[in-house]
Amino acid sequence: MIRKIVQIDEGKCNGCGLCVPSCAEGAITIVNGKARLAADNLCDGLGACLGDCPQDAIRVIEREADEFDETAVARHLKETKQDLVELKPHHAGHGYTAPAGCPGSRVMSFSDGNRDNGDRAREEKEPSRLAQWPVQLHLVPVNAPFFQDADLLIAADCVPFAYAGFHRDFLAGKALVVGCPKLDDNRFYLEKLTELFRVSRIRSVTVMRMEVPCCGGIVMAAQQALAASGKEIPFTEITIGIKGDVH
């Protein structure tokens, strides 16, 4: 049948994942660094994801496509283990509940049964390795003295909370900036980092992100900023799992 359906321009898509939380059906996923439509019958064609793509890579078109299938959506959400929330307004009257969409927004609880009092005591004595202030990318001046001849660590906001040894294993000896591509304007990150690379003598760049798709935006901003700056600086990407493991 001919109907409205989302089309993603992979040439424009930078894989930031900001469109993923907007898709109530979980129809959009990140594959090999690009947003993809998981299946035609999972897309309702209403375009709730359109406003969240900073690259303008998503639009609604009319083409031959399988009919939107609520049963397939429910099965897909169950198979991908996405949490369920109340129906979104544009699905009022439909027979299924819609997910939060983004794996990074799912509510989870977990505990570490291996932690003992000795672990807690050692962590309490661990000294801070933070050597500057401020750290928020919105607040740091690009010409700050601590960026000169520095190894720069760009960390997503959640990383230090998920990885217990962040200070000891990654922060020591580095200049730090932090941000959240899910909550902030990734275009601002791109512009700020580009200027930072241009005016400061950065020796190396390490980007630490969470494993959730929407966190990929901070990596893409750093990579694009480095390219725009015209400089060749060693670049490392590190992914942290939501339970603190290093991927």
pLDDT (0 to 100) of residue 78: 78
pLDDT (0 to 100) of residue 107: 53
- Segment 166-179, tens digit of pLDDT: 999 999 999 999 99
Of 177, 246, 232, 239, nearest in space to 213 by CA: 239
**What's the whole-number mean pLDDT along residues 155-173?**
95
- Segment 84-96, tens digit of pLDDT: 333 333 443 343 3
Domains and CATH numbers, the chain: 2-103 (3.30.70.20), 129-240 (3.40.50)
- Residue scoring higher pLDDT (81 or 240): 240
How does residue 153 score in pLDDT terms, banded at 50, 70 and 90?
A: very high
202-210/150-156 β-pairing: parallel
**What's the whole-number mean pLDDT along residues 117-140?**
79
Angle, helices 186-199 vs 216-229, to 10°: value is 40
Phi, psi of 162 (to 5 degrees): -80, -35
* pTM across the whole model: 0.61
Enumerate the H helices of the chain as residue ranges: 70-79, 117-125, 159-162, 166, 186-199, 216-229
In angstroms, the CA 239 to CA 219 distance is 10
- pLDDT over 90 at 204, yes or no: yes
